Amino acid sequence: MPNRSTPRPPAAYWWCQAGGWGGYFLVNAFTSAGFVTPSWRLASGYLFLSVLGLFLSHGYRGFILRRGWIDLPVPKLIPRALATNFLLAVVLVALVTLYFFVVPPPGHGYGAHGRVALIATWGVFIFNDFIIFTIWSGIYFGFAYFKQQRRAEIDRYQAQTALAEAELRGLKSQLNPHFLFNSLNSLRALVLEDPARAQDAITQLSAILRYHLQSGERSLVPLADEIETVEQYLALELIRFEDRLTIERSIDATTFSFLVPPLALQTMVENAIKYGVSREAGTSVIQLKASAREESLEVSVRNTGHLRNGSSPASTGLGLTNLKTRLRLLFAERASLELTEPQPGWVEARMILPITKT
């Protein structure tokens, strides 16, 4: 048997209670004027009826909450509620009748004939109050169910958000080993050949790793931060590829403050090097572009090479696949990532995001 604490009702609840039972008092007072002579005692009886109804319905609310009726399925709730409404109507009519016996209105002495008339009208009064309590409980349960459904939707949204955040953290953790592996490969040969240059490269690598650690705490970062990290990464890759790699840049300065997912540009550049530059025997070119068009930020990385066997982001490596998933989690359908071959000999990864500024 549920035994729950009764939460304090909000102010709106009391305003509704006062308005509803106050309206019931006015209806009784005005409609009875056509049948009996108005008097202060009669008005006090109707006031007693409304005040008593307010307290009974408030007690009914506490009973509902303690018994956990809000959680009952409708087929089980309806008979319980109707039976309780009838019982409350009987109690209300009995107490009001007792009040009129103690304080009878003028000209309404309860002789034998009056008592018969009073008993005959009990059914009508009980039916009326039963309807009132049924309306009250219908409104209360309807509002409670609405709040319950809204709370359930909020809980589902919070659960989905928590799941998405966990998935994003997992995707970021998958990106770090890939980046570290490529960077260490670039440094391996340099350590023995040019120690001084290797020290500079290690400083660059430590700065990149620091950015990776800090970016894990943020969902979006300025594009300027991404570009700075990519420049450091490309400096390391130039050590490995030397004259085989040429970098071209076309970045609109107005886009520097626009927000992008951390490591997004890094992932696109890594993909271009891994599946383009590393597989080409001759000189390779990587073009970095960023521009704003209407309400969107467009970032692209082009490299010389070819899509092999109709490759797509899902088939060219984990990095772009994860990035595409991150974009979906962050922006839903408002962002996109495509890997295409816009012209023979060139592969392009194009990311389009809604413009968000710092």
Q: Is 29 exposed, middle or buried (0-12, 13-18, 19+ CB in 10 A)?
A: middle
Mean pLDDT score of the chain: 79
219: helix, strand or coil:
coil
Q: Mind giving me the DSSP string for 231-273?
A: HHHHHHHHHHHGGGEEEEEEE-GGGTTBEE-TTHHHHHHHHHH
**321 or 285, which is more confident:** 285
Q: Which residue has the tokens 């290797």?
A: 198
- Is residue 217 pLDDT above 90, yes or no? no
Range in 183-192, 238-247, 334-343 with the lowest mean pLDDT? 183-192
- Is residue 119 pLDDT above 80, yes or no? no
Mean local confidence (pLDDT), 145-162: 73
Q: Which residue has the tokens 């609405």?
A: 146
Range in 95-99, 167-171, 311-315, 329-333 with the lowest mean pLDDT? 311-315
Pairing assessment for the beta strands 296-304 and 245-251 based on DSSP bridges: unpaired
Q: Which residue has the tokens 């989690």?
A: 329
Q: Mind giving me the DSSP string for 6-37?
A: -PPPPHHHHHHHHHHHHHHHHHHHHHHTTTS-
115-119, 260-264, 307-311: range with highest mean pLDDT? 260-264
What tokens does 48 get?
């007693």
Task: Give the residue among 314, 310, 293 at the shortest CA–CA distance from 347.
Answer: 310
Mean local confidence (pLDDT), 252-256: 92
Percentage of residues of the chain with pLDDT beyond 70: 77
Mean local confidence (pLDDT), 215-238: 84
Q: Alpha carbon of 22 to those of 17, 54, 157: distances in Å?
A: 8, 9, 40
Q: CB atoms < 10 A from the CB of 223, how many?
A: 23
DSSP category for residue 105? P
- Is residue 92 pLDDT above 80, yes or no? yes
Range in 15-24, 105-114, 155-164 with the lowest mean pLDDT? 105-114
Strands (E), 109-195: none
How far apart are alpha carbons 256 and 146 in whole angstroms? Answer: 46
Paired with 298 in beta bridges are: 291, 352
**276 or 177, which is more confident:** 276
Q: Which residue has the tokens 């490309």?
A: 234
Paired with 348 in beta bridges are: 302, 340
User: What are the φ and ψ backbone dihedral angles of 39, each rounded to 5 degrees?
Assistant: -155, 160
Mean local confidence (pLDDT), 288-293: 92
Residue 236 near residue 183, CB atoms below 8 Å: yes
Mean local confidence (pLDDT), 220-230: 90
Range in 88-97, 262-271, 308-317 with the lowest mean pLDDT? 308-317
How far apart are alpha carbons 259 and 102 in whole angstroms? Answer: 77
Percentage of residues of the chain with pLDDT beyond 90: 21
pLDDT, position 301: 94
Task: Give the residue among 306, 332, 217 at the shortest CA–CA distance from 263.
Answer: 217
What tokens does 59 get?
């007690």
Paired with 291 in beta bridges are: 298
Tens digits of per-residue pLDDT, 182-211?
A: 667 667 767 777 778 778 888 888 887 787
Q: Which residue has the tokens 């108005």?
A: 38
User: What are the φ and ψ backbone dihedral angles of 337, each rounded to 5 degrees?
Assistant: -140, 125
- Is residue 35 pLDDT above 50, yes or no? yes
pLDDT, position 216: 64
Residue 39 near residue 105, CB atoms below 8 Å: yes
Confidence grade of residue 313 (pLDDT, cut at 50, 70, 90): very low
pLDDT, position 186: 66
Sequence spans of domains, the chain: 11-159, 189-354
Q: Please tell me the number of Cα atoms within 13 Å of 29 on its side-chain side.
A: 17
What tokens does 273 get?
């090097």
CATH for 189-354, options being 3.20.20.140, 3.90.950.10, 3.30.565.10, 3.90.650.10: 3.30.565.10
